[in-house]
Each structure stands twice: as C-alpha cells, then as structure tokens.
Structure 1
C-alpha cells in the first residue's frame, strides 16, 4: 500500500472505478456462463413421447438415441435451441422481414426486400402440400425448440445486448427459412441484372468475349437500366450484409465406386460453398431410432440431415447453377399504375400493405420510438414486383421463380432423403423438390453410385433468361417445367466415379436449356484428374486420399493465365525474383506461397487497367459504378486470357494492339509488386495467407468495434475461386483479400459393410455462444483440412461418446406454437 499512499488519486481510481468494473465484469461473465447448455443429467421436457438420450462427444457433436424418429427430430430442435438460439432468432426474423425490430434502420432494406418477396406467405402455402409425416417432423422440431424456451434459462449474450426476448418457434418458421436457403442457391436474377448493366457499356465485340454464349449482336429487349442497377445492388447488399447469394455459392461432391477403393465400397465426398458466418449455418448431428438412422449435416432451423447418410445410402449436393429466375419488365397503364399488360390484356396487380416496426438508434430506450414504416407490396401473376422494394417505380420489374409457386413440396423431398434405401427411393424423394435446383450425388451399400438433378427448371417459350424480357409479350411466358424424368442423371457410369462441382451438367445433345452461368470447369477438372491419378496408381483410393483432395488448393486457371502473362513481359523482367517464382509456380494457392500473392495482385491490377478504368469513364452514378465493379470482380482468369489473346485493341486502350496489352501486363505486375512491398515488406516474407484472410461474420456484431473481436473471427486462409478448396475473396485497400465465401463443412463417407466410416469437419464449431469452447474449436482444424469421425450408433451407447450424456424425459404435452 506504500505506493498508493504516495498516489492517493490512483488508490481512489482503483477502489471506485477499477474494482467495481472488475466485480461487474466478473458478475456479468458468471451470469452469461449460465447461458451455456446443460449437457448432462436428466431434464423433463414438454412434448416428448418417450425418453431420449443425447451423448455429446469431445467436439460437442450430439448422438441422439430416441424411441421414434419424431422424438429424434424433437431432440434436434432442443439441441439447436441449446447451441444456436440467436441463429434461430436471426433466421426467423430474416425470413419474416423483421430484422429492423432489433437491428434498427440499417436492416430496413433487407426487411422491405423480404416482405416484397413474401417468403413467409409462400411457406404457409407449402404446409398443406406436405405429407403428414413431413408436417409431423416440422412440428416435433418446433416442439423441441419451444420445450427449451419453456425452461426459461439464461439467454445467450446477443439477446441481453440487444434486449430481445425469443418467441415460440412455429413449423412455418422452418419452411420460411428453407425458402431463404433456397433463395441463397438461386441467384440468377442478380446475374441477369449485372449482365444487363455491363452490356450497356461494352461494345458488341467485347461483350461477345466476356459473354461468349450470348450473341454479340443480340438486341436488348427492354430498356430497364435503373431497375437493373438497383436489383444488382440489392444482390450485393444481401451478399455483403447477410452472406446470401453471390457468384460463388456452390459446392463440390463426388462419388467413387468400390471397384476403385481400398475397402471395395463406395466413397462419397461433399463440401458446400456459401457465405462464411459465425457460427456456421450447419450443425453436425447423429440421429437414431428403431428403423431410422441419419447422420451428417443439419441446417439450423430445419429438423433434417440435409447432406449425410443413413444405414443404406449416402448423399451430397451441389448448386446446379440453373437459371430458374427471370426478370419481367411490366408495361403498366399510366392512368391505372396498378394494372399491367399480360397476354394482350390489362390485369390488376394484387396490392397489400405491410407495416415494419423499426428500432430507434442506440440508446433506443432513451429515444422516442420510431413510427412504423408502411410499404405497399404489389404482386403480378408472374410474381412479386421486386422493383417496388428498391423504389424503382418508373420501371416495374417482376420476379418469376419456382420457389415462390404455391404448394411447394421441396421440404418433402429433403425429408424423404433420410428414409431412402436405394436408387429408386432416392429419385422419388428428389422428384418433389421444387427449389433450389440442385445436383445430388449418390452412393449406396450395394456398391452403386450415381448423380441426379432436382428442382424445377423452366421451359421458356422465347429467350433463355439471360436478360430481362417484356411481360406483355406472350412469347416469353414459361411453358411449364422440365419433367423430372428428363432431368440429368446417371447411375454407375463406366468411369467408376461421378463429379459435380457446379460445372455444366449435360452435353450439347441434352434437349432442355438449363443455364449459361456454369462455374468454370477448373474444379471439376482438378477433382477428375486427382481421382484418375489415384485409380491409375499402384494402390486404391482410401478415405484419407479423398480428404486430401478436398483440401487441394491448385488453381488450374491461374496457372494457365500466368503462363500467358509471363510471355507478354519484356526480357528485362525475367531476372527478377518474383518473375522467377512465378515461372516455377504450379498454381498452388497455399498459405505460404509468395507466387500466389504476386499473381493475385497482378490479376487484380490487370482487371483494374483493362476493365474498371473503362467502366469508370462510362458510369455516371455511384450505384452504377458499384454494380460494374462487382461484375468485373467476377471476371475469371480464362476470360482475361481470352481478352488478351483476342487482338481486340480496345481492351488495352490503344491502337497498338498486342504491344499495348503487353505494356499493360508489365505495368500491372509493377503495381502488384509495389502493393506487396507495402503490405509485407521484404520479398522473403511474402505469403498468400498473410494477404488473404477468411472472415467469419457475425450478425450484427461484426460491425461493432470491440464486439467484433468477441463474436467474429479472421484467419489466414489458402485457396482461390477455382481451387477445390474454394476461397472466394474481394480486395479491400485496408484489408487485402478478404475471403467471405468458401467451404462451410466437409464430409467423407464410406459405405463399407456395417456402418462404414463417416468423417466430417464443420467450419467453426457446434456452438453459437462465444463463451463456449465449441464456438470456434473447429475453425483451425477446418482451415488445416483435418477431419473428425462420427461414430457408429452401436459404438455410442450412453456415456460412450467421450463426453456428457443428457437424458430428456417426457413431462407433459407441449405448450407452444402449433400448426
């Protein structure tokens, strides 16, 4: 205390400021610790039919052992509420268009957009179309969530910080969230809008190189630039703020026949690619009951194992990249703005009013409540007038998408997959899926492998969905959907394997149009090459070999463009260390690769000089430039190579043609080297991982200083848009390449006799609570492409999973939201 006697002010500060803060902090932390789930002991819950045992392993993964499948779904709802309650809250509010009630005015554009789409109304219409077992699963899941809410336990930190009280979960909430999930996989309207805006500013010859599947001289059917800009900008906002949609939403999935594997049984691998978020959208679970077993990845908000395996089959999915959304420009009556022309006749728009409650800015409790925001929502026979949500009232645009059709049975298909025992039952489940359009890879215990496409693909009378079309012209009306019997599929191909990586799914002889927006073939080619290499080798394919394939970071397109660019450089550049590294580089986007960092900045600067500078001159407003910048970011390395090889002198800004392009390549490389020097200093320290960081965003606290460090995560990451281990990123001047899309889980499944092997890794952790050790305990292992094992049911009786065991026992009928 001698030091304090000399400094009485310091003593007072410690006693009156620091000590109370420390005590308050300790008390707050202790209280919040109570929000962590109970994982052991007995709990009596309402709505359960019989006792359920939940054994968690060391990674927090639950093994549910129930007396019936419906009790297993109940338990999964209870578990999702235990571990991901805030995520459930966000999911429901997003689907309903009610984020503004808790996040304030900044979430209003998203709410207006969702109210306009009316996903919740569409979900209500889906309920009667479902079978009784499918509805029962949704109800059981909701009962499980509500049973946990009924215990009135301490809520996770987000609820305390935002002053939110969760409401009972309703089965329709799950169906509406599945609509959001489907919308995330169906982004062709944004692609259409981006393409339209870029088309306005490129000469026909240059357009043909970038969009070579679309005729250069094809007319733009309608003039709707303001509306298309707004639609494209909303797509960017949904991607930036919520991680929804985007060019890189996709997946890898492949299956290999037992004739090529070490144990003689099929192997199936799957890794979906979506927006990175904290926590992951996915939740690992193993559900078992007499006559029922499903293990793998569940989506928080749904009662199902969406991708995984049961006792007989395994399945994994990828985005088909199908063009299932069309934008129709409405011809409205100037005298009656709520009437539009269709099929040669004037029709009335359906009009309804929506009221959105908006929380005031912080501190909301000390401010006068804001008046509700009232909006008018219009709907045509084609679909919602989405331009109203963007205030593009001068040019009404409607969205047509199968996911908004009444009586959607997509959930039925996902539900049935867990019960399928063979190829026929698998296809019967897929047949009722409406949206999203997906590729599903298959393997079974009888050593069959296959692939089948699912979802409704429109049959168009005219046009192909590439650009917006006039609603008044009956030629552009949809003529129904591609029959499921005519969807792409294959069973037991002669090659002994099947690969799906968002690449083109059918050849030129296929009779139906699916898309022009396939992912570049690089990932599919690389996976195919690795499988073929393993098959031709001395040994046979093992689970461990497939795991390594999922972590492959070689970018075939980068390597191809790199070779061409090096050929453009002057001889004087060949002696520099970076150029020597590039010459020796094989396209690996590993974290420690200096050449990967050099190439990525080189490509970024080349795009700037060849495209962005051109669009900067053409654009006449901020929104337009933002949309064009997003379009350029999606231009692939092979598109750049085509541009440089074309001899089109305008790309390089002069009459000198190839000479000018060579000068641009050289100048862009110098720009890249200067930036790397600024970022990482001496060449010996250059690494792709230091320039390229995976960013896992939390809604809403990633935007709040200090809290972003608690709830969000950043980690150096490998990969690129075209590597098997996908990493889609955007360059930000103060942050480098920020990866916001990538693999969100990985699993490899063997269908060996008995239970085989099931290996997995989630991208973050099982918990959504930052106070839990399972909040981010999978983050580093996932980044290193490591795997954990899901154990077979016979190996996990109560207490044998390596962790705690929680027993749920029935107490009384459920009291909560019921359909």
Structure 2
C-alpha cells in the first residue's frame, strides 16, 4: 500500500464527525484523552478542555509564572520574581507574532484557550466539587485564557528557559580573577582549559565523518584572543542582583550566595547547582532486531507533581498522533503518528550573546552605538499585588535586546541578544505541525523552522532514522569570543543568521543508531558559553554508546534494558579508574590503597539497592564518591581563586539531604580534571600545568589516601560496611521556574534515584504498524477535589515508573475504542 493510500485508509477509519463544532473525547484506562474533531479550532478546543480537567491549577501557575503575575494571587513575596520575569520578555513582540499567524494556525491557540475556558465555566458553576483544592487553599480563582496565555506557556518555558542559558558575565568574572591571580598569559591559558571553545575528542551525536558542515571552524580557531575591551571584575561585580532581568542570567557577583540559588530557587537545579537534561536513543534498520526502527526518549526536565509532561491523542484536521509534551504545549514534543516518530533533547548551542552597553554619563537612558548616543526603548510594567499596593517599574531595551543589568555609576549596562527573538511563535507552530509529517523530508522542513537550540530526532516505518540540531545561530565576526560579553558600540555586531543547511544533521548514520545525552552535535561546533556546561572527552553519553557498540543488533527490550542500565550507572567512573589503577599498580597486593582500587576494578560502575535495605549495595560507590571530590580539590584549589573554585569543586553526586532534582552529569571540574590528567594526550591543549609539576600518579595517590581515611573514619575498616544511604527520587511541587504548582503535602518519593527521563516514551515500527509505550509519573491528572480526594489517575504511574515499567498507548481507532473508559461529547456551536 502506498503512503497516500495508507493515509487515506487511516483517515477513513477515524470516527466520523458530522459537523464542525462537534468534538469527541475518549479517555483510556490511564486517563489519557484522545480528541476527535473535524476542524483545527475544535481539535484544540478539545485539547484545552481536557487539560483544564486534568491540570487546571498547574496550568494557572504556569501561565502566571511565565508572565510574571504570581504576586497577584500569592502576595508580595513574589514581587521580585515577577520583576525578573517581566524584564525577560517582550509582550508586544509575542502578540505581534500571534496576530501575524494564518487563520488556521491562530485557530490552534484560540481553540485551545476556548476549551480551557469552557471547562472553567463549568468549574465556576460547581466550585464545591470541581474547583481544585489548591485554589481553595490559596484563595483565588482560575482566570480566563487567551491565545497569548497559551503561547506564553511555550515561550516562557522553552524559550526563556531552555533557549536562554548564558554565563558570559560570569565567565568574564572568572577570566578577570584568573588574570589578576596568574597574569595575562597564564590567566587566559587556565580559562581556555576550564572553558574551551572546542574539544575535538568530545563524543558527537553525528558520527565522525558523517557530516562535513564545518559549522564554526573559523570561530573554533579563535584560541585565546583577548576581547576587544573588558571591564574589570570589580566593575562587573557591582551589578545589582535585584536589577537582573533574566532568571537564567542572574549576576554571580557573590557566587557562593547566588550560584546555587539562581537554579535551586527557580526549580532548575542539577545536583551540583546546574540544570542537566535529557537523553535519546534511536535505532535504525541496520541495527534493529525484530523491528524496522526503535525510538526511546528520556527528556530530563526534573521530576514534579503534577507531572511535567502531559499525554494526549489528537485525531482530525490533518493530525493523527499520540504522545506527550511539556506543560501541555499545543505542539507534541515526544510522539508519533502512523508513519513517523519524533523526539527531542536540549541542545547546548549558543543562541544568545550579552552585549556591554556604554551609557551616556549625562543620561543613563541612552547608550553609545555606532558613534552616537541613542535612547533606549522604555516600557513601564505594573505588578498587581495581593493585599498590597501595585508596584511599577521600568523595562529597558537597546538595539541588542532587553537590559539584564546596569550600573549607572560605572556607566555600563548589559543587554541580551537572542537569535530566536521574534521567532518564538513560528517555532511553536513548527513543533505543532511536526506531528503532520509523514516522511523525513517533511519532518526536516519543520525542524528547519525551529529557532530554539534543540536536538530533534526522527524514525519511520521503513527503518530510516534522522537527527537535526535545530536553532537559529548567529554568524559572529572574527574575533568575537562567544564566551565573553561583546562590545555594544557597534563593532561586534552579528553578520547574520547561519542557514539551516549548516546546522549539524544526519540521515541514516553509519553507526546504525543515534545516541544523545546533550553531548556535542558534530565536529567543528563551538562549545556553549556556560561555564557549567562544556563538551568534553568525558561525557555521560559514553555510557550509552558503550552498550550500543557492544552488540550488532538490538530489540526493543534490549533498548529498554540499555536505558535502565545507564540510569544506575556512575557517569564519571569509567574515565578515572584507569588512572587509579595506574597509580597503584606498583603497590603490593595487600596494600590498603591497592586493595581499595581493586574494589573499583571489580565494580560494574553502577549503584543499586537490590535488597532495598536503604543503602547502596556497592562499597565501590562509597569509595569513588569520596575520592573524586578530593581529587578535584587536589588539582584545582590552588589554581582557581577564591569563590570561583566552587564552580569546579563538585563531583555532582546527590545525597539524601539534597535529592536528585534533575539528572546526574559529568561536572565542569571533572571534565577539566580528565584533560589535566591526560596531559599532552588531552583533546584540549594543556599549556597550563594544573598538576604543578607533579605526576598524575602522585596526585591520584594523595587524594586516594585522603578518601580512604575519610571512608574508614565514617564506615570502619571493613569494605562490607562501606555503604552510602540511598538517594530517593523526589517529585517536587514547584514548577520549572520554582513556583508552587501543588500543595506542600503533594511531594512524592520513589525508593531510589534513577538518572533517567522525566518521562520515557518508546516507539517501535515494524513496517506495517506502530507500537508505543510510555510512563509519565506520577500520573495523567493533577486534580484534587476540594474535599481532598485525588483523581484516580493522580499517581497511578508512580509505581510503574519506580519499577522501570511502561504502559501502552493507543493510536488507531480500533485500539483507542478497545481501551476507552469514558467518552465526552462537546459542541462548540451551542
């Protein structure tokens, strides 16, 4: 059967809807809604209606979080938060983009909002039974939705969070401190080794040789050139934290105070204070067994209650898909239709630059650009505050973008230029229409329209697989070091936006599979500017690649097992146990240091609690987690001055006192440590000697001795007793920006933390049919009735998640009908 004939057969099998305005919602045994409608407006009306039933309070908080409107309902404690959010986006630009949409695309947003409002009307008529308990607890009502609100959920989370990471100011502070401590030459050398522009030894998503786009070779060759001009660390440190405009760009003038807070308080924390996100495996026909292609996605947003993602089936108006997506975006980010599957992970491409503006000493609302002072754009924002007077403040914008901080006394300010600015809604629509694609060429056209720095993945019925690193990337001038703030006076302006053809991408790679854990997309691709995220030889994706390269063929069950195995793997051990072995190999077998290393050599580098006694089974876990921080201190503490050492001191392991909030990753100090130990064999040239003339063996032994002393003091001499308490996996009740989306009593824990997806979804194509599975914990619904009774689907996937299980999802009309538990009929024309 041809593709067109197959599509016609599928559409013919969909439930017939007699007239526009009629909507059918079928919920399956796990509470997942399948929406059937004839028109775009009605399809998304049913979507919005379903979301409101399941997640009304969560979505209300998400709406207010992304627009800076929390103080309206929760009081004065949220004024500073609202200021930061409002200074981080331009509402006029968003509305202008919405107004420019085609009629059909506008119907997506309008229909969704109308569906939300339809359910809210029913809630308001029966608040004692339908209004979620959290509204009662906090004393406010849900507000009617608009197309703008629907769009801002996407913009405020995917754009203003994942597309907005930037630490150029912090990098400048570090560089200045290093130069002050070590002098210009050595300061730059240390900076380039800690935060390299490129590490050619870093593992890539596109197999080496499969893509020759030479995306940024000229930029990579920048090496260690000083910036055109630079303010001192002291000048930058004066920038006030409370004037910082972007949650993701808080000044780190006091790193110890703010570095953890900027992520932790806003729900963005990885185990060392930095967000870490998402893995993916796609297996094509060349390597799949018992299937043509297999896709297993594990997006790691963190773990929340209600769940971060929302499951949905959409059938009609050109859509026929099932999947799940963050905060119920109109675009289904992880899903499939009968012919293709798609997914994504965060891509660390640099789409944002900070520009240092020179202010007019006679008028701080003017800045120097191309030889003359120009007025900033200014808008006044007013925050309504529950129980208090409104608060007004000004938001400033230059030709580069929104001001994120300023120091009028020093006559400097910093503005943020985003390559995706003005393309947010186009990106949302590309992600939404991606679900209509039926082949790789169609899918790639939608990927090309995505302005955000995201890894996109593809698989189809025929066994083809694909990858594209999406985003709009600036063509910077030679000499513009993307790691540091640029001159805002007009001499370091972008030359344009690179064409999508220069973005890393591959179709049916030579490896037969695609593996990604936010690693480097391809060779000759510059590193991101975040000091907490560099691409290096040490990369957790190696835990996946090692398994995938060990076998010729993989079944779907093999792929699931691979994902489970890496969820318990130590992401650091494989790189350093060989150095520990080398350092102790000359010792006698009964030497305590050699015996300790033998423990590591016998370890499979995973940590479990199979007997569920509340302690990790492996003594090696305890030893290695004690040694790595000691080794980091031994190597870097005397070289990285003061507070900046904290950025490179963490080994990244969670603890019961600090449960896993996001995912475990190789930390920036650990990456630099491996390069330092490799010396002349390192991927990044080691012109500064972090070992201070000592041998690697000497440092390894010294740190091992301290680690052993520490372990024995706490656990005794017998390795059988070297057991660490298990770290739980906690489902927090804040959302992605740290705002409370549930009651304090709604926190949930699983027994043991797993380094895996917020959700996992598995798609299997065999050439004729598609089989899909997912787990979206705690459950589909976040609804708790006013009397405290939760929905039956409130946490019914929690145990499934803990046991690494999956539930099946349904796509065809026959499958949906066979698993339908309830049916709702709506009519938008009544």
Alpha-carbon distance, 1:114 to partner:
1.0
Q: Deviations over 1:38-92 (max 9, x none)?
A: xxxxxxxxx98104032221x3222334444543322221121111111111111
3-state secondary structure, aligned to 1:804: strand
Work out which of the residue numbers 458, 462, 471 in structure 2 matches 1:455.
471
Aligned CA distance change for structure 1 residues 443 and 453 (closer, same or farther; 3 Å): same
Aligned CA distance change for structure 1 residues 228 and 478 (closer, same or farther; 3 Å): farther
Aligned CA distance change for structure 1 residues 309 and 270 (closer, same or farther; 3 Å): same
Q: Distance in 1 between matches of 2:58 and 2:630?
A: 38
- Mapping for residues 652-667 of structure 1, pairs under 5 Å: 661-662=699-700, 664-667=702-705
Pair 1:370-2:388 in alignment: yes
**What residue in structure 2 maps to residue 274 of structure 1?**
301
User: Per residue, is there more helix in 1 or in 2?
Assistant: 1
Residue correspondences, number? 716
Alpha-carbon distance, 1:767 to partner:
1.9
Alpha-carbon distance, 1:545 to partner:
1.2
Alpha-carbon distance, 1:323 to partner:
0.6
- Mapping for residues 84-483 of structure 1, pairs under 5 Å: 84-152=55-123, 153=126, 154-183=130-159, 186=162, 189-202=165-178, 203=182, 204=187, 205-213=189-197, 218-219=225-226, 221-223=229-231, 224-226=235-237, 230=241, 231-233=250-252, 236-244=260-268, 247-289=274-316, 291-359=318-386, 369-387=387-405, 395-405=412-422, 408-434=425-451, 436-462=452-478, 463-472=480-489, 474-483=490-499
Pair 1:595-2:610 in alignment: no
Alpha-carbon distance, 1:102 to partner:
2.9
Alpha-carbon distance, 1:394 to partner:
5.7
Aligned CA distance change for structure 1 residues 433 and 374 (closer, same or farther; 3 Å): same
- Mapping for residues 389-788 of structure 1, pairs under 5 Å: 395-405=412-422, 408-434=425-451, 436-462=452-478, 463-472=480-489, 474-508=490-524, 518-520=534-536, 522-535=539-552, 540-553=553-566, 554-555=569-570, 557-565=572-580, 567-568=582-583, 574=592, 579-591=597-609, 592=616, 593-608=618-633, 610-611=635-636, 618-619=642-643, 634-644=667-677, 646=679, 661-662=699-700, 664-670=702-708, 672-673=710-711, 677=715, 684=720, 686-687=722-723, 690-699=725-734, 710-718=745-753, 725-726=755-756, 743-769=757-783, 771-788=790-807
Pair 1:73-2:44 in alignment: yes
Aligned CA distance change for structure 1 residues 382 and 251 (closer, same or farther; 3 Å): same
Q: Distance in 2 between matches of 1:406 and 1:104?
A: 33
Pair 1:790-2:817 in alignment: no
Gap runs ≥5 in structure 2: 1-18, 199-221, 242-249, 253-257, 610-615, 653-665, 681-685, 785-789
Asked whether the equivalents of residues 184 and 244 of structure 1 are also in contact (C-alpha less than 8 Å), the reply is: no
Alpha-carbon distance, 1:614 to partner:
6.7
**What residue in structure 2 maps to residue 22 of structure 1?**
none
* Cα RMSD, aligned residues only: 3.7
Q: Distance in 1 between matches of 2:382 and 2:773?
A: 47
Asked whether the equivalents of residues 468 and 505 of structure 2 are also in contact (C-alpha less than 8 Å), the reply is: yes
Q: Distance in 1 between matches of 2:409 and 2:46?
A: 46
Q: Deviations over 1:406-445 (max 9, x none)?
A: 67511121121011111221122122222x2112111122
Q: Distance in 2 between matches of 1:75 and 1:585?
A: 52
3-state secondary structure, aligned to 1:288: strand
Aligned CA distance change for structure 1 residues 121 and 399 (closer, same or farther; 3 Å): same
Q: Distance in 2 between matches of 1:88 and 1:406?
A: 23
Alpha-carbon distance, 1:124 to partner:
1.3
Alpha-carbon distance, 1:285 to partner:
1.8
Aligned CA distance change for structure 1 residues 497 and 703 (closer, same or farther; 3 Å): closer
Alpha-carbon distance, 1:106 to partner:
3.6
Alpha-carbon distance, 1:357 to partner:
2.6
Alpha-carbon distance, 1:343 to partner:
2.0
Query: Relative to structure 2, which stretch is displaced further, 331-340 or 345-354?
Result: 345-354
Q: Distance in 1 between matches of 2:711 and 2:593?
A: 14
Q: Distance in 1 between matches of 2:436 and 2:645?
A: 50
Alpha-carbon distance, 1:112 to partner:
1.1
3-state secondary structure, aligned to 1:304: coil
Q: Distance in 1 between matches of 2:98 and 2:163?
A: 25
Q: Distance in 2 between matches of 1:275 and 1:393?
A: 39
Aligned CA distance change for structure 1 residues 218 and 51 (closer, same or farther; 3 Å): closer
Gap runs ≥5 in structure 1: 1-46, 360-368, 720-724, 727-742, 814-819
3-state secondary structure, aligned to 1:525: helix
Aligned CA distance change for structure 1 residues 257 and 225 (closer, same or farther; 3 Å): same
Pair 1:54-2:26 in alignment: yes
Asked whether the equivalents of residues 265 and 447 of structure 1 are also in contact (C-alpha less than 8 Å), the reply is: yes
Alpha-carbon distance, 1:449 to partner:
1.5
Q: Distance in 1 between matches of 2:469 and 2:434?
A: 14
Q: Distance in 1 between matches of 2:378 and 2:737?
A: 37
Q: Distance in 2 between matches of 1:228 and 1:594?
A: 47
Q: Distance in 1 between matches of 2:512 and 2:565?
A: 21
Q: Distance in 2 between matches of 1:717 and 1:467?
A: 40
3-state secondary structure, aligned to 2:301: strand
Aligned CA distance change for structure 1 residues 109 and 578 (closer, same or farther; 3 Å): farther
Aligned CA distance change for structure 1 residues 609 and 410 (closer, same or farther; 3 Å): same
For normalisation by structure 2, the TM-score amounts to 0.78
Alpha-carbon distance, 1:335 to partner:
0.4
Asked whether the equivalents of residues 557 and 638 of structure 1 are also in contact (C-alpha less than 8 Å), the reply is: no
